[in-house]
Amino acid sequence: MHQSTIFIIFAGLFLLACNSTTSDAAKMHEQKLLPRHVVIKDSLIIEVQPFSDIPDSLVNYVFMNVKKLCPYVMLNTSLSLPQNAYYKPRNRYKADSLLNYLKINLKKGHVVIGLTSKDISTSKGKIADWGVMGLGFCPGNACVISSFRLDKNNISDQLFKVAIHELGHTQGLDHCCNKTCIMRDAEGKNTTNEEKEFCSKCKAVLTTKGWVFRE
């Protein structure tokens, strides 16, 4: 077989194999997250999805700090909150409905973090409407975080901690008994100021998922 023919066949097979990630790579290249020669393949991609109500400063803080832990992170254009998630009696948004909204059309291998400043809630035991700071599928591909219940004096750092807590759930982590671990169960309180980092056991699990922890 002629050498040029072999090259054409090889090139065609290569493009076919990378076709599913081309658009993701292009978007990340535009954001200067990856060099042009790097192609994403079979890697977990995290999408930061702000809703239109949350300030850009908070979104960017979460985005920049998540990038330090996870190799591939994309920042999406903001979306309006879906009206079918609104719970008028409490002026809240149902977190479960937001999760289902966020995962619509989500690509395989992607996990999405929804960010909002509105109050969100879910069902807990016999309580039909329990206010929460965040909620995520465990394991799964979507989580949503709200800044509504956070300390306004330390809101950026707390929002980031809640974000990676819920991301941890999507990666299969349960709540942790270590009181300084990010995966600590808040038990209806805001304990983020007491949480320092993921404990060694939680880090070990996340490392197998491609997360990076620098000493």
- 41 has pLDDT over 70: no
- 21 has pLDDT over 90: no
pLDDT tens string 119-139 = 999 998 888 899 999 999 999
Partners of residue 46 on adjacent β-strands? 73, 111
At residue 203, the pLDDT reads 96
Look over the chain and give the mean of its residue pLDDT values, rounded to a whole number. 85
Instruction: Spell out a b/e string for 108-126, using b for 16 or more CB atoms within 10 Å of the CB, else e.
Output: ebbbbbbbbbbbbbbeeee
Q: Span 150-166, mean pLDDT?
A: 97
- 163 has pLDDT over 50: yes
Which two structure tokens, joined as six digits, stand for 191?
């304990």
At residue 187, the pLDDT reads 86
pLDDT tens string 43-85 = 689 999 999 999 999 999 999 999 999 989 999 999 999 999 9
Spatial distance between the Cα atoms of 67 and 33, rounded to a whole number of angstroms: 9
Domains of the chain: 1-40 (no CATH), 43-208 (3.40.390.10)
The conformational region for residue 135 under phi > 0 = left, psi -120 to 50 = alpha, else beta, is beta
% of the chain residues with pLDDT over 70 = 80
% of the chain residues with pLDDT over 90 = 72
Cβ pair 81, 87 in contact under 8 A: no
- 4 has pLDDT over 70: no
Which two structure tokens, joined as six digits, stand for 2?
């002629």
